[in-house]
Every structure is written in C-alpha cells, then in structure tokens.
Amino acid sequence: MKQLLAILFLSQGLLAYGQAPKAPSTLKGILLEQLRTTHNQEDWFVPVNIAVKGLTPEQAKWKDRSGNHSVMELANHLIFWDGRYLEKFKGNQPAKFNGDNEQTFRGTESWDATVKKLDKVLTEWEQAVEAADDAKLSKWYSTIAHIGTHNAYHTGEIIYVRRAQGSWNPKYGVH
C-alpha cells in the first residue's frame, strides 16, 4: 500500500520540487482529492467548474478554424466518459457504445443543462468514492486516477479555447 500511495503522490506532482506530500494519506483521500481538484476545488490548476463559469451558450459552442472542439463538446465528452465509468463503478451496465470517440463530444442539451450535468456526474463520482470500501478502491484506483487526469487534460483544453476566443477571465488564473 505504501508503494501505491507513493506512486499516486508522484503521479499528481505532490512530490515535485522536493515538497512533502500534504494530507490526504489514504488511498480514498488521494482519489477524492484528485476528483475534487479537477471538479470544483482550486489547487494546482483550475478545476472544470471554474473553467466553464460565466460562459454564454454562444461562447460554449464557439470553435476556431483549427478543428479543435468547442467548450460544450469538451464538457459533453467528460460527461460521457465520467458517466460511463461511474455506471461501471456502481456495478451497472452502461449504455451500448459503438466505440466512435467523436460521438462522445456530441450532446443534445442546452448549455445550462450541460453544465449542471457535468457538475452532477463529478459530484456523484466523489460520493461513490466516499462510500466505497478499501477493497473496491484497490481494484479501481488506477481507473479513478486516470479519470482525474482525463478531466484535468480536457479542462486545460477548455481554458485554451476560452483564451483563444477571448472569453477567459484572467482573475480565475491558470495554475
């Protein structure tokens, strides 16, 4: 277990620059920290709730000419994958999927509903991990850690898109 915790600390950069890791010290605590800091708690970088804050529906749908995804498409992608793995974690069978990842960026809901759905699935992940026992977390830790990394990656893309369109407020920072 100590090796597992060290790997997770290192994967999240908590030992970077010679800093000692701060709390948490349990697997559950580490996974919850990863999920929360990519959801709604500012730490080393901007979480997704702040990254999507204040966008109009038009701004959320905006795309540049390079083929990058819009903020709304990125939010739909996170909802799809986080929701799919949440269903598996809960022991449910997710909806059939044909494997075309481009479809995961599409959604039919309004921007406001998309933001609420993203917040909901991330909150449900935190609740599910909080309620899980150590045996389940020992089987799922790698997947959950990858979910946090995936969320952080696409949140960075959201900020990139917002900066390109001029809708990013620098007071929210990028750390």
Domains of the chain: 27-172 (1.20.120.450)
Cis peptide before 24 (omega within 30 of 0): yes
Q: Residue 67 in 3-state DSSP?
A: coil
Taking phi over 0 as left and psi of -120 to 50 as alpha, with beta for the rest, 166 belongs to left
DSSP structure class, residue 12: T
Q: Tell me the mean pLDDT per 10 residues along the chain, length 175.
A: 44 48 81 96 92 96 93 98 98 95 96 98 98 97 97 97 93 74
pTM beyond 0.75: the answer is yes
Residues 5, 30: contact at Cβ < 8 Å?
Answer: yes
First to last CA, the chain: 30
